[in-house]
Amino acid sequence: MYNSVEELLERAKTENKRLHEVIAQNEMSISDISEEMLYDRLEKHYQTMVASAAKAVNAPQDMPGVDFIKGQSLKQAQYSESQTLGGSYLNNIMTMALSCCEVNAGMGRICAAPTAGACGILPAVLIETSRKLNSTKKEILDALLVAAGFGAIFVRNSTVSGAEGGCQAEVGAASAMAAAALCHLKGGAPEQCAAAAASFKGAGRRFEVYGECNGAVVVDDYAHHPTELRATLNTAKELGYKRLIAVHQPFTYSRTKMLFNDFVDVLKIPDVAVITPIMGSREPNDPTITSAKLAAQIPGSVLVDSLEAAADWVKQNAREGDLVITLGCGDIYKASKMMVADNNK
């Protein structure tokens, strides 16, 4: 049994084994199954990955209510046929990852790796890399074992739940697992696989530190759903700053209206909530729902009429010891850049 990367590497070194061998031995012991049964299960999981990675490319999936996702995998596949800057390897990975996401959104069968929300990353990387390297089935399944081993460590020591840690908990874990699997496929040593997993520093706009404003730390995060906002804000509150200032840009009128009470509740967490205008995106303006109505229900909140006004308010009111976090999936990150602009000159 191992509970950390250090313990996993130590076992591999002590027993003079590759990572997949240590992880397989551990899994067989925990599940009380034979090696044959273990690899049979891995083969079934991998075939599910292969099927979902191809399904939406061949036939865009029906997904009531989220049609803007439909057909994206096919579009990416068609784009991959042109002379792309990223080459066929990266574009094929994106095509297959999007296919898995479409199948998931259409309530089809996917392999959670490690979650349904991040179901496309590991399969796409594993399938395309093994194709490029002409890997054997055994080599592919060994790499899948390595990915699973790191995923288990993430679960034991942190979370892969989007509801608890935001999308980055899912996508970050999946990307690190894929990096370790890719390294193993290339013949990487245990330490190299661990370094590959650790080298994934996270996607942009996930608690991304932009700099300082009046001594206050300014970060930006993509959280936009109440569940993600709650996880991000609760984490921020535990970091020990004197005040937490949240600058939130509501996204779409329909979501703001549907989850109005949830947004009100979660935006009471910070010491100060600064509310910008709703970003309608693809939706037409809906005068029945406004940021003013949202702010009116949040004691001590600040209503501003633009990103520039939000940045100006922070410049005038933030002080040393504060944590300022911009939140939303639109262009709220621009406000963060404005806040730290003077310090970055």
Q: Are residues 123 and 231 located together in one domain of the fold?
A: no
Among 198, 216, 235, which residue terminates a domain? 198
d(CA 333, CA 253): 20
Angle at CA 218, nearest 5°, toward 215 and 223? 160
Any domain includes 345: no
- Residues 246 and 176 grouped into a single domain: no
Residue 158 lies in a domain: yes
Tens-level pLDDT at each residue, the chain (345 residues): 789 999 999 999 999 999 999 999 999 999 999 999 999 999 999 999 999 999 999 888 877 665 667 888 888 888 877 777 777 899 999 999 999 999 998 889 999 999 999 999 999 999 999 999 999 999 999 999 999 999 999 999 988 887 777 777 888 899 999 999 999 999 999 999 999 998 866 666 778 899 999 999 999 998 899 988 998 899 899 999 999 999 999 999 999 999 999 999 999 999 999 999 999 987 899 999 999 999 999 999 999 999 999 999 999 999 999 999 999 999 999 999 999 987 755
pLDDT value at residue 246: 98
pTM over 0.75? The answer is no
- Residue 27 maps to a domain: yes
Report the pLDDT value the prediction gives residue 345, as an integer from 0 to 100: 56
Residues 158 and 230 in one domain: no
The answer as to whether 235 is a domain residue is: yes
With left for phi above 0 and alpha for psi between -120 and 50, is residue 130 left, alpha or beta? Answer: alpha
Number of domains the chain contains: 2
Q: Domain ends where: 142, 163, 198?
A: 198
Structure tokens at 147: 């990915």
- Whole domain around residue 9: which residue ranges? 5-198
Q: Is residue 203, in this structure, part of any structural domain at all?
A: no
Per-residue pLDDT at 11: 95
Query: Within this chain, do residues 244 and 222 fall inside the same structural domain, yes or no?
Result: yes
Distance CA 163, CA 38 (A): 30
Question: What is the predicted pLDDT for the residue at 66?
Answer: 59
Q: Are residues 142 and 245 in the same domain?
A: no
Contact 257, 286 (CB under 8 A): yes
Q: What is the pLDDT of residue 69?
A: 72
Q: What is the DSSP letter of 318?
A: -
Q: How many CA atoms within 13 Å lie on the side-chain side of 252?
A: 9
In a domain, 9, yes or no: yes
Q: Are residues 239 and 273 in the same domain?
A: yes
Q: Which residues contact 33 (CB under 8 A, 6 or more apart)?
A: 27, 41
User: pLDDT tens digits for 161-207?
Assistant: 877 777 778 888 999 999 999 999 999 999 999 999 988 666 667 78
Q: Apex CA 63: angle with CA 59 and CA 65, to 5°?
A: 150
With a CB cutoff of 8 Å and minimum separation 6, the contacts of 225 are: 255, 259
- The residue among 148, 167, 198 that closes a domain is 198
| 189 and 231 fall within a common domain | no
